[in-house]
Amino acid sequence: MSTIVIPPAPASNGVRLEEKLRAAGWQVRLTPPGGGRVPWTEQQVQELFTDADVIVATPGRLYPKELLRAAKRLRLITSAVIGVDNIDVDAATELGIMVANVLAPENIIGVAESTIMLIVALLLNLKLKERTLRGGQFRPNHVSHMLHGKTVGLVGYGRIGRAVEARLQGWGVTVQASDPYVPGTLALDDLLRTSDVISLHVVLTAETRNMIGARQLGLMRPSAVIVNTSRGGAVVEADLAAAINAGAIAGAAVDTFEQEPINMDNPLLACDSDRVILTPHSIGHNVETGPSGIRIAFENVEHVLRGELPENVINREVIPAWRERLPQLN
């Protein structure tokens, strides 16, 4: 009987991944609750993962090379969400283990909707307007700007970036993108120089880590704002805080951070709170995503245990080695 290791999770619209997996005839092993990316103990690795066939990863924990190496029978580690930066994908590829993720349409839409909300909130100075009302001032003379007529620059032109673009139709904006893997898009420096709004939609790789630092921020217009709903490691947070404090850019909205949970000494927390919106890596979360996410995670498991490829393989270069391993694991 195949063993699936999954995080404990509440039912979504009455559906639980644990129950679906058990009903399919597989053994389910739950990881202990907890987050903060606390390392697994040696005992936990031995008890939970050494004979696991599949791991459904939780974003709150790390899955390093040492854990993957200990899981001798592991065929698949699938993220329960879009992001896989908590999984050592390079190590998985080296070990012949497939990595997949869950691209629930509602998750993509939720992030896209949230991105536009954050852009408009920054330009219209929403936080300052609310603060002054709560402070007893009514209709003060605040400076704010419309999104209409602006140029929105998308850094990364994948599913979420394109979903943002689709939802900006009718807003009267110019949308441009920078993505080295999409022909016809701009170079990043050109995008930064010519956009009023910068919105990041990248996965975290060696290429994208720290891609927005002091030099890149210095190319932006002083009136421009930047939104990051992708991955915290793509932006050098100290440089972003310095640019905001110096007035080099007008503001920022950040939902993801280099270290999560966020360190309370993160320099962004000390910035002018009227010009910076910070949310706890949950801005696009919605109850509508739950059933789709459970269905896709189940399908990922089901496909792999039948010897088939799941819909969205992250490390496609592993497929030949993965197929060679399968007969040894049956």
Active site residues: 231, 260, 281
β-strands 276-278, 251-254 pairing: parallel
CB 77 within 8 A of CB 68: yes
Retrieve residue 322's tokens.
């993965």
The rounded distance, in Å, linking the Cα atoms of 257 and 280 is 8
CB 79 within 8 A of CB 101: yes
Q: Of 43, 67, 66, which is closest to residue 55 (Cα–Cα)?
A: 67
E-state strands within 147-249: 151-155, 174-178, 197-200, 225-228
CB 277 within 8 A of CB 124: no
How would you label 86-121 residue by residue, b for 16+ Cβ within 10 Å and e otherwise? bbbbebbbebbbbbbbbbbebbbbbbbbbbbbbbbb
Q: What is the DSSP string of 284-314?
A: T--TTHHHHHHHHHHHHHHHHHTT---S-BS
- Only one residue has tokens 């852009």, namely 119
The rounded distance, in Å, linking the Cα atoms of 116 and 168 is 8
Q: What is the Cα gyration radius of the chain? A: 22
